[in-house]
Amino acid sequence: MTLLDHGPAEDLLNNAPTDHAKLLSWVTEVAELTTPDSIHWVTGDDNERTQLTDELVNAGTLVRLTKKRDSFYAASDPDDVARVENRTYICSVDEKDAGPTNNWMAPAKMKATMSELFRGSMTGRTMYVIPFVMGHIDAAQPMFGVEITDSPYVVLSMLVMARSGTSVLKAITATGADFVECLHSVGAPLQDGETDVAWPCNTTKYISHFPEERSIWSFGSGYGGNALLGKKCYSLRIASAIARDEGWLAEHMLILKLTNPAGESKFIAAAFPSACGKTNLAMIEPTIPGWKAEMLGDDIAWMRFGPDGQLYAVNPEFGLFGVAPGTGWSTNPNAMRAIEVGGNVFTNVALTDDGDVWWEGMTDETPSHLTDWKGNDWTPESETPAAHPNSRFCTPIENAPIVAPEWNNPNGVPISAILFGGRRKTTMPLVTETLGWAHGVFMGATLSSETTAAATGQVGVVRRDPMAMLPFIGYDAGNYFQHWLDVGQRDGAKLPKIFYVNWFRRDENNKFLWPGFGENSRVLKWIVERLDNATDAVETPIGLVPADGALDIDGLDMSEEQVRKAVAVDVEEWNAELDDIANWFDYIGDTLPQELWEQRDQLRNRLGLT
């Protein structure tokens, strides 16, 4: 079939709302390959939302909630619940450029393989074209993308997660701007008369990135970071490669504004692995009097140097895609308030009998009856969780009552501190101030955490997750560490101080040593005061920790003795850690910067180990 005798493609040429040549030829090419029944250019207006959600409700993909304004519930296929790291590829021309931490396939081979999967894959479906911009449309260098997808659920989610629709298409068209091509199909063509399932997907999945040509091909999954391609695929994997070339940082970090009782504000960024507390810290409600926290972002930060030599961070996203379980009025009241505003898509949580959502940790009392995420009856006696551990709420960021006024600033905010952290039962103190940029990069490069349900695979296994970017670095990890070190060498740079935190350390009875959540404001207070040398720290071999009495535990049911345990440095544990770090560095191989080996040697000396 040629382009002109195929309905949608002909329609496309006649009715496209743009004359952008590259965009038109790409959309045409994809339509010819995937043979959708029709093509829809996503506008982002209210009528479109009504039409999309009505369609999705009729198809059984969405349930309209009666208890929350303009909000919907979706349950995915039980085999499509999280990012699939083992199916995620960096297809650089040279295998070396993907490095040891990424799956690799030659771009031509991947494209040949995936073209066969995409061939006819949108048959019986609508092909949606979503123009979007990551970051602000008025940024000095707006970062455009266009996602083509055959999933209306993805369209609905993208409209929450990224600035999308007609205004973006107009900007791309008017300026002739380039954009990242993001091609997505659930891989479930519908033959004539075939009825659709509620969550179409394919057992074959590929999430492929072509860093040189800055494009993304995703097939087979409809879930989260596998399918909302502006998020991890563009804003981290592709953007990290752009950032390396252009001298900036694209990172898996929240952005937070903190104001002390004197009214002085500081901005911080923090990198924790998936499901390790970014959304919670970004939305923190401080428990200490007089301190105020406001959110700018909960997952991704792009940081560029400003003319004054400071690193300025923007959140490229427009929504929150937060882990539902554990989010409740006592742990994250600001997330609960944001959800109450409406405009949500919930995925894989549980449904209450009166048309609301529920998940473990939302309320103290468990409802007596629910429909679990698999559609089964559920009671408190049930042996499986009502909500999948990686179930999510997808909510406009502006719903949050604590969004900082600067959050929409195209130039971002100056970052004074960077926090790295992970989920470790042992070894890592509650908080450590690093000894300078290179030592901070060492602590980031050796970040370790227990695996979570945010990715498929075993949960609770300690792995290295450098800068919380292990699944997201779009190039060779050793070169990525070198890039971080180079950022620190930039002429005139006024660098943030780097800290390392661990909310998840446990005592000998396996109980958390630190209460976490809102109480983390006490740690933030110490960090902010350290920026001005306004509080005391003591040196340990691994960095500076709060001096006795320096961490504000006023009003907390915790002794100084317990604090000492939470910040203790155990030489035996660090001896084992150093061996593991050596293995990790060996695994990274030749490109691991010598400076990081030297940092390890210095740490060994400070620990008195020979």
Sites of contact with ligand GTP (CB under 6 A): 272, 274-280, 298-299, 322-323, 325-326, 331, 454, 503-504, 512, 516-517, 520
**Helix H or strand E encompassing 377:** strand 377-378
Distance (Å, rounded) from C-alpha 363 to C-alpha 358? 8
Residue 490 has a CB neighbour count (10 Å cut-off) of: 13
Closest to ligand GTP by CB, 322 vs 546, is 322
CA 134 to chain centre: 13
List the one residue out of 409, 469, 481, 480 whose CA is nearest residue 235.
Answer: 469
Is 67 annotated for ligand binding? no
SS (H, E, C) 580-605: HHHHHHHHHHHHCCHHHHHHHHHHHH
> 276 contacts which partner out of Mn ion, ligand SPV, ligand GTP, none, CB within 5 to 8 A by kind?
ligand GTP
Distance (Å, rounded) from C-alpha 464 to C-alpha 451? 10
Closest to ligand SPV by CB, 142 vs 224, is 224
- 62, 162, 413, 454: residue in contact with ligand SPV (rule CB under 6 A): 454
Distance (Å, rounded) from C-alpha 87 to C-alpha 574? 34
| Binding track, positions 258-277, relative to ligand SPV; x by CB under 6 A | ----------------x---
> 464 contacts which partner out of Mn ion, ligand SPV, ligand GTP, none, CB within 5 to 8 A by kind?
none
> 329 contacts which partner out of Mn ion, ligand GTP, ligand SPV, none, CB within 5 to 8 A by kind?
none
Residue 94: exposure state from Cβ atoms within 10 A (0-12, 13-18, ≥19):
exposed
Dihedral over Cα of 380, 386, 389, 392: its sign: negative
Is 463 annotated for ligand binding? no
Is 375 annotated for ligand binding? no
Number of residues that bind Mn ion (CB under 5 A): 2
Residue 609 has a CB neighbour count (10 Å cut-off) of: 12
Distance (Å, rounded) from C-alpha 137 to C-alpha 316? 10
Is 280 annotated for ligand binding? yes
Closest to ligand GTP by CB, 276 vs 311, is 276
- 299, 317, 476, 552: residue in contact with Mn ion (rule CB under 5 A): 299
Residue 108 has a CB neighbour count (10 Å cut-off) of: 10
> 496 contacts which partner out of ligand SPV, ligand GTP, Mn ion, none, CB within 5 to 8 A by kind?
none
CA 554 to chain centre: 34
Q: Torsion over CA of 580, 586, 592 and 595, rounded to 10 degrees?
A: 60
The answer to whether 255 and 269 have CB atoms below 8 angstroms apart is: yes
List the one residue out of 81, 32, 122 whose CA is nearest residue 389.
Answer: 81
The answer to whether 242 and 250 have CB atoms below 8 angstroms apart is: yes
Tokens of 559: 């002794």
Residue 244 backbone dihedrals phi, psi, to 5 degrees: -60, -45
Please state the closest distance from residue 65 (CB atom) to Mn ion, in A.
Answer: 25
Is 276 annotated for ligand binding? yes
Please state the closest distance from residue 517 (CB atom) to Mn ion, in A.
Answer: 18
Residue 459 has a CB neighbour count (10 Å cut-off) of: 14
Is 279 annotated for ligand binding? yes
Number of residues that bind ligand SPV (CB under 6 A): 9
Q: Candidates 150-158, 224-232, 241-249, 301-309: pick the segment binding ligand SPV (CB under 6 A).
A: 224-232
- 8, 152, 225, 319: residue in contact with ligand SPV (rule CB under 6 A): 225
- Measure the CA angle with vertex 343, ends 320 and 384; round to 5°: 65
Q: Candidates 136-144, 225-233, 412-420, 521-529: pick the segment binding ligand SPV (CB under 6 A).
A: 225-233
User: Which residues ranging from 314 to 333 are in contact with ligand SPV (CB under 6 A)?
Assistant: 321
Residue 507 has a CB neighbour count (10 Å cut-off) of: 12
> 412 contacts which partner out of ligand GTP, Mn ion, ligand SPV, none, CB within 5 to 8 A by kind?
none
- Measure the CA angle with vertex 30, ends 28 and 36; round to 5°: 95
> 232 contacts which partner out of ligand GTP, Mn ion, ligand SPV, none, CB within 5 to 8 A by kind?
ligand SPV
Catalytic member of 182, 233, 276, 394: 276
Is 80 annotated for ligand binding? no
Q: Is residue 83 a contact point for ligand SPV (CB under 6 A)?
A: yes
User: Which residues ranging from 298 to 317 are in contact with ligand SPV (CB under 6 A)?
Assistant: 299
Please state the closest distance from residue 224 (CB atom) to ligand SPV, in A.
Answer: 3
Closest to ligand SPV by CB, 224 vs 440, is 224
Is 392 annotated for ligand binding? yes
Sequence-ordered alpha helix ranges (H) in 209-284:
224-227, 239-246, 278-282
Is 201 annotated for ligand binding? no
Instruction: List strand residue ranges (DSSP E) for 195-338, in order.
Output: 206-210, 215-219, 249-251, 253-259, 265-271, 292-297, 301-305, 311-314, 319-323
201 noted as active-site residue? no
> 205 contacts which partner out of ligand GTP, Mn ion, ligand SPV, none, CB within 5 to 8 A by kind?
none
Is 464 annotated for ligand binding? no
Please state the closest distance from residue 80 (CB atom) to ligand SPV, in A.
Answer: 11
Known binding-site positions for Mn(2+): 232, 252, 299
Catalytic positions, written as ranges: 276
Binding residues: 83, 223-225, 232, 252, 274-280, 299, 390-392, 423, 517-520
- The contact set with ligand SPV (CB under 6 A) reads 83, 224-225, 231-232, 274, 299, 321, 454
